[in-house]
């Protein structure tokens, strides 16, 4: 069992030949009492839901409120136009992240990773890795176990709840999980994965949770897109050998402290930020009367 990122890196290197996914599986066996086969079956089901949620969100349909829907398909068409300014790999991740969260807003089935509001980041990064790196089924599961290992540390030492720590704790955590897993999928080592995690959290530090009308739609859908984009850039930085000056565990602790200091108006209460703008208030009135 590991409780910090430092312990995660050391144990993966010393006891599991550098495999974070194997460390996570062993931890799950220890804490849940399930067999390896049962754990793999459960994660396989999560994988199916994640990939299906991307396809389900790639439509013109809107949510019941009308606040969101159709943007993933717009970005898909733009990518296919060949006129993009950004790399298509990054844009594909952004598109897939929006698709998952638009599916969620339409009452579709998603895998909370680590929450429903941030469910787009990890599937988006994974789906991009599947295309870019030609990941096998086993490697896809390794990706998810690795992401889970980092999420476990973040949840135990900071928060994955927007109501407790702002969106830095939701999209920030999700993007960090995806970035770390991507590093490992691309052939990096546990230390490099930890650096990618740090880069993401550092640069989303202080991100507030301000859902318009209290719904997980605006700005959540587009924040997942940006979080997925951050994850890819951070992974490349880590694989390039760039290091975080602040240790990852200290970065996570800083996120916790920032979340605790954040006013309640910025922690999923819909009392501040975008939710408190004139348009945000108008949309709330139109939806709820």
Residues with Cβ within 8 Å of residue 230, at least 6 apart in sequence: 175, 179, 200, 203, 204
For the chain, the domain total comes to 1
For all residues of the chain together, what is the average pLDDT? 98
Q: What is the pTM of this model?
A: 0.98
CATH code: domain of residue 49: 1.10.4100
- 249-284, pLDDT tens digit by residue? 999 999 999 999 999 999 999 999 999 999 999 999
- 52-88, pLDDT tens digit by residue? 999 999 999 999 999 999 999 999 999 999 999 999 9
- Check pLDDT > 90 for residue 22: yes
Question: pLDDT above 70 covers what percent of the chain?
Answer: 100
Distance of CA 65 to the CA centre of its chain: 24
- 190-225, pLDDT tens digit by residue? 999 999 999 999 999 999 999 999 999 999 999 999
- 44-61, pLDDT tens digit by residue? 999 999 999 999 999 999
Average pLDDT over residues 19-48: 98
In which domain, by residue range, is 110 found?
5-288
For the chain, give the number of residues: 289
Determine the pLDDT at residue 289: 85
Rounded distance between C-alpha atoms, residue 238 and residue 247, angstroms = 13
């Amino acid at each position: 069992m590991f409780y910090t990122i430092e312990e995660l890196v050391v144990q993966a290197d010393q006891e599991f030949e550098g495999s974070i996914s194997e460390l996570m599986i062993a931890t799950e066996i220890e804490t849940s009492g399930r067999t390896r086969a049962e754990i793999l079956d459960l994660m396989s089901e999560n994988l199916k839901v994640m990939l299906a949620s991307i396809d389900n969100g790639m439509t013109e349909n809107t949510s019941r409120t009308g606040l969101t829907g159709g943007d993933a398909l717009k970005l898909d068409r733009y990518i296919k136009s060949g006129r993009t300014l950004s790399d298509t790999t990054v844009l594909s991740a952004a598109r897939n992240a929006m698709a998952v969260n638009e599916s969620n807003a339409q009452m579709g089935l998603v895998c909370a990773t680590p929450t429903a509001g941030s469910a787009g980041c990890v599937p988006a990064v994974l789906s991009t890795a599947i295309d870019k790196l030609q990941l096998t089924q086993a490697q896809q599961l390794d990706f998810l176990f690795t992401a889970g290992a980092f999420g476990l540390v973040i949840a135990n030492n900071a928060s994955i709840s927007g109501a407790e720590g702002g969106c830095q704790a939701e999209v920030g955590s999700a993007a960090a999980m995806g970035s770390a897993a991507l590093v490992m999928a691309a052939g990096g080592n546990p230390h490099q994965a930890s650096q990618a995690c740090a880069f993401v959290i550092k640069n989303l530090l202080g991100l507030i949770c301000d859902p318009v009308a209290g719904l997980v739609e605006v700005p959540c859908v587009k924040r997942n897109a940006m979080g997925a984009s951050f994850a890819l850039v951070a992974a490349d930085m880590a694989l390039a050998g760039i290091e975080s000056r602040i240790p990852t565990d200290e970065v996570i602790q800083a996120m916790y402290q920032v979340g605790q200091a954040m006013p309640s108006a910025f922690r999923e209460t819909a009392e501040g930020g975008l939710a408190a703008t004139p348009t945000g208030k108008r949309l709330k009135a139109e939806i709820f009367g």
